[in-house]
Structure 1
Amino acid sequence: MFWTQTHFPAAMRSLPPSVRAKAIEIANSLQGQYVSDQREVISTSIQEARSWSRRRFMESAGTQLS
C-alpha cells in the first residue's frame, strides 16, 4: 500500500505538512524495498523525516547567520 497526502498512517497526522510529505516519500520508498513490517516502515519514515527537517532548519539558519 502506498500513501499519499490525503491517505497516510494516523501516526503521521500530527506532523507539519512538509515533514509529513517527506515521511510519506520515505515510507513509500521503504515499502518499495519490500520492508515487511509496516510499523517499522512508519516509525523509520517519521524518524528520518524529522531528522531531514532538523538538518534543513540548521542549514537555513546557518545561511542566514553568514
Structure 2
Amino acid sequence: MWSNTHFPAAMRSLNPSTREKAIEIANFLLANGEVDKAQAVAISIAEARRLARQARMVNEPAPAYSYTRRL
C-alpha cells in the first residue's frame, strides 16, 4: 500500500492533491486484486488527472466571450 510519503516514482510529477487521489485509487485497485502494480499505477494516474480536470472545469467561471457579427 502506498501513502503520501511512499508512492511510485511515476506519481512524483503530480500535484499533491492529484497525487493523493491517485494513491487512493491505486490502493483501492490493489486491495481488490484486479490488477498488478504497474496497471494500478497507470490507471490511477489517468483517473486522478481526469478527476482533477473535471473539478477545474466545474469550479472555473464560464469564459466571457464577445460576439460581433460581421456583415
Report the TM-score, using the length of structure 1 for normalisation.
0.88
Match of 2:48? Answer: 49
Q: Which has the higher contact order (CA 8 A, sep 6+)?
A: 1
Q: Find the aligned partners of 1:39 and 1:48 in 2 and give their Cα distance.
A: 14
Q: Could you tell me how far apart the structure 1 residues matched to 2:47 and 2:14 are?
A: 12
Percentage identity across paired residues of the two chains: 48
Offset at residue 32 of structure 1 (A): 1.1
Q: Which moved more, 1:41-50 or 1:29-38?
A: 29-38
Structure 2 regions of 5+ residues with no counterpart? 63-71
C-alpha RMSD over aligned residues: 0.9
- After TM superposition, the runs of 4+ consecutive aligned structure 1 residues lying more than 4 A away are none
Aligned-partner SS, 2:34: coil
Measure the CA separation in 1 of the matches of 2:23 and 2:11.
8
Q: What are the ranges of 5 or more consecutive residues in structure 1 without an aligned counterpart? A: none
Q: Whose helix fraction is larger, Structure 1's or Structure 2's? A: 1
**Residues 12-54 of structure 1 deviation map (CA, whole Å, 9 limit, x = unaligned):** 0010000000000000110111024211000000000000000
1:11 aligned residue: 10
**Greater Cα radius of gyration, structure 1 or 2:** 2
Letter in 2 for 1:6: T
Aligned length: 62
- Of the structure 1 ranges 51-60 and 27-36, higher mean CA displacement relative to structure 2 is found in 27-36
Q: TM-score under structure 2 normalisation? A: 0.82
